[in-house]
Chain A
Amino acid sequence: MKQFVKTKEFWILLMLIALSMIISSRTNVFFRPDNIIDLVKNNVVLGILALGMTLVIITGGMDVSVGAVIAVITVIIGKFMVNYGGNLFSTFFVAIASGVIIGGITGILVGYAKIPPIVVTLGTMSIINGLMFYYTNGTWINDIPQWFIDYGKITLFKIPGGDESLIGVPMQIIIFIVMAVFTWFILRYTLIGRAVYAIGSNPVSAMRVGISLERTLTFVYAYMGFMAGIAAVVHTSIMRQVDPNAFTGFELQVIAAVVIGGTSVTGGSGSVFGTILGVLFLSVLNNGLILTHIPTFWQKIIISIIIIITVSIDVIQRKRIERNLPKVDVEI
């Protein structure tokens, strides 16, 4: 417990609780189980993308193409289901394969060609958006097959709702939990997961102990794509239609969630638990702004201010710590 108090996650948790208190003092529906379930369900897409983004940012990278990637995958699976029927398995397969291919290409450009990730992902973002508008003309896909919509309505486990009724946990939340556990396992118990931390912490040392920067970075961006694939299916199952514009600017939210969750933009540290807290914090903030009737344009301003504050704190702390590291005079 003493250990936990010292972690970044603890402070985010405190902030989350404080924020929830403020909101619930202004509206009495906030803490009702159905509001909470709704709130989480509406943000699982953000959450799943944030899980992938956590790895990217731990390596010291950044992926601004997530919005475009998930948007194009929703279009791909929308068209796929409308034109070929398909089933749940093949839809997932198409979504994941698309995501891994796009992410893998990004990863190869970052890892092997050593192009700065922000440049690569800005590029892929533009290319994808351009191609998508050429293909869809911005029109929605509305005729998603009924079988898929039915899947989206599945709920599991009954928990007591606000009144006497029981409400179920939507399957989308279950998928998010499974993905979170999976990502936590990768980061904690696989060598490539630890390599992700090592590269972010000190790339030169990582190379010296025999970690392949190229392979690890390719994996990280491919994993981001994998998560975008899962998130695309989940999103479509909730919205029951495909809007190619739905994710414009969404990368800001994803990056914000991860950074608020304590992942250092300078690389080397971050956790799944922190990211989940970051996602919840953003969700509660958005929800609270709606419940308290604050105009939505304030959201972007507030989120951006929070990002700048958290990143500043992180960078200042890091500078303090760096003074403690051994000083080197390089011999040439």
Chain B
Amino acid sequence: MEQKPFLQMRNISKTFPGVKALDAVKLEILPGEIHALVGENGAGKSTLIKILAGVEIPDPGAEFLIDGQPANIQQPLDSTKRGIAVIYQDFSLFPSLTVAENIGFGREIGQGRRFVNWIEIRETANRALQELGVEIDLNSQLEKLSVAKQQLVAIARALAFNARLIIMDEPTSSLSQAEVEGLFKIIRNLKAKGIAILFVSHKLQELFTIAERFTVLRDGKYIGTYLKKDLNEEKLISLMVGRKVEFIKQPGGKVGQPILEVKSISKKGNFKDISFRLHKGEILGLTGLVGAGRSEVAQALFGLNAPDEGDIILEGKKVSIHSPEEALSFGIAYIPEHRQIQGLVMRQSVAKNITLTSLKKIRGKLGFLDNNSEKNLVNQYMQVLDIRPKNPDMLTMQLSGGNQQKVVLAKWLATNPKILIVDEPTNGIDVGAKAEIHRLLRQLAAEGIAVLMISSELPEILAICDRILVMRRGRMVAEFNIDEATQEKIMNKAFLGTANSVSA
């Protein structure tokens, strides 16, 4: 029998300045269905969820039907009133309030009340928890509960809203195995009550355990909706990968002596048993899904996240790095992922940003900064990296994203690093600028710098790296030479790999 869908979304597009995050995407959810939404990092899943939640408004032309009726969703309340509840990855609860209030409060707001009815709040909370079949003290402060219990509170809140569709964003990311099984039991109970679940996750095994249908997004586009029986893990991955943006393949460089050797470093809750070698003149790619622990490893090398165990060997000598100052003194530079937050002082001039890491170099006789040597240093790097416009006094915030990224590069190159770690170096800049950054990185490697590049963009990794490491859930799961790597192979490892499969 054909069921009438609870939710139909058609022709959903969303344009942000410079990017089309979603392009005519479809989504259909049946009552009581467990539906998985999958895609690579940046495929548009989060944006689609935000539109469902009423946090973002889609571009004109979108069709949004609930029970076959057009729904006008403009703000979060519109969506909760129609039975759509989102459980964000951070749960979006109120840590300092009680369990009862966390569950019952949203509903009271939805009813547009002025006064709080505590008896009703407690009853609502009680009913919701009973429906879930769990026992949590209503008076307990939320922040004192375990993460798994906080998640149950978030689900109970969704039930208190009489949700008919609960969207769960990476719900298992901070749960133990036993807790995940508990969650799945609850999800099946909800299904039995006719509540649909939209499950967003990177963990394919889990999705194949719980979900019935899969909707796949890639690069903001709708790829298709499939029944579980028509899919297996390999097929699903092949649907997700294959981004069409290709970059010019940069010829590999002459790889020199090993400069850095990492021997089974571990950090509790971050990564475990990570080993690799980095050579002079090489670009080593480090990829994996968001949350796989890539940036944590990079930060470990830069002294921001010292490992608990294992050795870091630099030019044959064992070192321990406890602060960025130490890392810099060893010749390690790290360009973080969010350049606007972590890498640049946006309201300062380009020149001041470039010299920030090398103030000692431009110090004059009395210890004051010497304007002439500052000018020389700045001009040198603006020339080498071709930063435009060629005005060192311009505020950094006035530059384009690509040129901002070059300023970050200049800033760290001014420290004369032997090892350069770049984290998502082309995130959020346009294609032309990306290619230019690629060329620059290759040029730096040719000059003998060892580059470790973290990136989620496989075409980018395949275009410029000499070797590729893949991480999954804090473990190193694969290493490829560039001539044997393909997008499919890498994604297979990123989604499904196990630590044993590393050939080293």
Q: Which residues of A contact B (CB under 8 A)?
A: 3, 188-195, 197-198, 200-202, 204-211, 264, 268-269, 321, 324-332
Contact = CB atoms under 8 A, between A and B. Distances in A.
Contacts of B143: 321, 324-325
B428 A332 contact: yes
Give the interface residue-count category, chain B: 35 or more
A188 B75 CA distance: 27
B147 A209 contact: no
B95 A268 contact: yes
A330 B91 CA distance: 13
A202 B46 CA distance: 20
22 contacts: A3-B139, A189-B115, A189-B118, A190-B116, A202-B92, A205-B92, A205-B94, A207-B76, A208-B88, A209-B76, A209-B106, A209-B109, A209-B110, A210-B77, A210-B109, A268-B94, A268-B95, A325-B150, A328-B90, A329-B173, A331-B42, A331-B46
Contact of A194 (B45, B105, B428): B105
Contacts of A204: 92
Contacts of A189: 115-116, 118
A329 B96 contact: no
A191 B109 contact: yes
B291 interface: yes
Max chain A C-beta neighbours (<10 A), residue from B55, B80, B106: B106
Interface string B68-80: 0000000111001
Given A198-B94, A200-B96, A332 B116 contact: no
Interface of B: 41-42, 45-46, 53, 55, 75-77, 80, 86, 88-97, 101, 105-106, 108-110, 113-116, 118, 139, 143-144, 146-147, 150-151, 173-174, 290-291, 427-428
A327 B96 contact: no
Contact of A210 (B80, B88, B90, B144): B80
A332 B42 contact: yes
Contacts of A198: 94, 97, 105
Q: Which 6 A-B pairs have the closest CB atoms?
A: A268-B96, A201-B94, A329-B291, A210-B77, A205-B92, A209-B106
A109 B348 CA distance: 27
Nearest to B117: A189
A189 B120 CA distance: 12
Contacts of A201: 94-97
Contacts of B88: 208
Contacts of B90: 325-326, 328
Contacts of B151: 326
A197 B97 contact: yes
A188 B116 contact: yes
A210 B76 contact: yes
A202 B427 CA distance: 28
B315 to A, nearest CB: 33
Residue from B105, B108, B173 having most chain A Cβ neighbours under 10 A: B105
Contacts of B53: 208
Contacts of B139: 3
Given A324-B143, A326-B174, A202 B113 contact: no
A331 B49 CA distance: 12
Nearest to B121: A194
Contact of A202 (B95, B109, B150): B95
Contacts of B86: 208
Given A202-B95, A268-B94, A269-B96, A191 B108 contact: yes
A267 to B, nearest CB: 8
A330 to B, nearest CB: 8
Given A189-B115, A208-B76, A325-B95, 13 more contacts: A189-B118, A191-B114, A191-B115, A201-B94, A205-B92, A206-B94, A207-B76, A209-B105, A268-B94, A324-B143, A327-B174, A330-B290, A332-B42
Nearest to B90: A328
B115 A321 contact: no
A189 B151 CA distance: 27
Nearest to A197: B97
Contacts of B97: 197-198, 201, 268
Contacts of B46: 331
Contacts of A331: 41-42, 45-46, 290
Contact of A211 (B93, B101, B109, B115): B109
Contact of B92 (A197, A208, A321): A208
B94 A202 contact: yes
B366 to A, nearest CB: 36
Contacts of B114: 190-192
Nearest to B150: A326
A210 B75 contact: yes
Nearest to A199: B94
Contacts of A209: 76, 80, 92, 105-106, 109-110
B108 A321 contact: no
A326 B105 CA distance: 21
Contacts of A328: 89-90
A326 B147 contact: yes
Contacts of A264: 96
A208 B116 contact: no
Nearest to A58: B96
Nearest to B148: A326
B290 A329 contact: yes
A198 B104 CA distance: 13
A195 B290 CA distance: 34
Residue in B90, B96, B115 whose Cβ sees the most chain A Cβ within 10 Å: B96
